[in-house]
Amino acid sequence: MFENLRGFSKRLITPMARGLLAVGLSADAVTSLGLILSFIYLVFIMLHSLPLAIFFMIASAVMDALDGEVARLKGMSGPRGAFLDSTLDRVEDLVYLIGLLLLGYSSVAVTIAVGGSLITSYIRAKAESLGQTMRGRGILERGDRLIIIFIILILTPFEHIVASYLIDVFALLTVITFVQRIFIGYRSIR
């Protein structure tokens, strides 16, 4: 859904990535920092400090957007960093969704969202290992999922019921996305 914003976001991300390079951070350090920030998000969820949790979730997501750009600017993009980034992204996805569970949202919907998110990411990785592209395929990519989680967090103190319905929709969309990717991947592999 939000894949078309990549060009716009790149204009914002590149100067920030240059700043991180200027202070000596590597792409792997930025990736690791994103993971650490996601756990801080979870701590603030447990402490019932939603504004700080939201802040750290955003900070974690920004680090995830920056790590690849830091690697590209430094000329260090490669399979090793991509492996670390992709692996830690899955951990972060799980951490963000555990936060929703700790906020008291439906364990069934959150579990389906976790499964749908992880399967969607797995299908992309497997298809790409077979030479197929999955970027932009399916209605709910990782960036879209993060935005929906952010919206749910924002709605939580004000419109808990609306946020609950949004989690149900989110779970459904993750399932639709992985089914779409299965069909797309299967048809494109010869």
What pLDDT shows up at residue 108? 96
For residues 23 and 144, give the distance between their C-alpha atoms in angstroms, rounded to a whole number.
30
What pLDDT shows up at residue 37? 97
Say which residue, 184 or 58, is predicted with more confidence.
Answer: 58
pLDDT at 61 over 90: yes
User: Token pair of 95, please?
Assistant: 């951490």
What pLDDT shows up at residue 131? 83
pLDDT at 80 over 90: no
Helix (H, G, I), strand (E, B) or coil at 19: helix
pLDDT tens profile 3-44: 555 566 677 888 888 888 889 889 899 999 999 999 999 999
- Three-state SS sequence of 103-162: CCCCHHHHHHHHHHHHHHHHHHHHHHHCCCCCCCCCCCCHHHHHHHHHHHHHHCCCCHHH
Contacts of 22 (CB under 8 A, 6+ apart): none
Residue with tokens 């579990």: 111
Question: Which long-range contacts (C-beta less than 8 Å, at least 24 apart) are formed by 34-39?
Answer: 34/60, 34/61, 34/62, 34/63, 34/64, 34/67, 34/88, 34/92, 35/60, 35/88, 35/91, 35/92, 37/63, 38/91, 38/92, 38/95, 38/96, 39/95
* Biggest distance spanned by C-alpha atoms of the chain: 51
Domains present along the chain, CATH in parentheses: 3-188 (1.20.120.1760)
Confidence of residue 132 (pLDDT cuts 50, 70, 90): confident
What pLDDT shows up at residue 2? 52
Rg, C-alpha atoms of the chain: 17
Average pLDDT over every residue of 141-146? 90
Do residues 153 and 41 lie in contact, with contact meaning Cβ atoms separated by under 8 Å? no
Residue 89 catalytic?
yes
Q: Average pLDDT over the chain, rounded to whole?
A: 89
Do residues 121 and 185 lie in contact, with contact meaning Cβ atoms separated by under 8 Å? no
pLDDT at 164 over 80: yes
Q: Give the H or E element holding residue 169.
A: helix 160-188
Active-site hit among 64, 67, 85, 89: 89
pLDDT at 115 over 60: yes
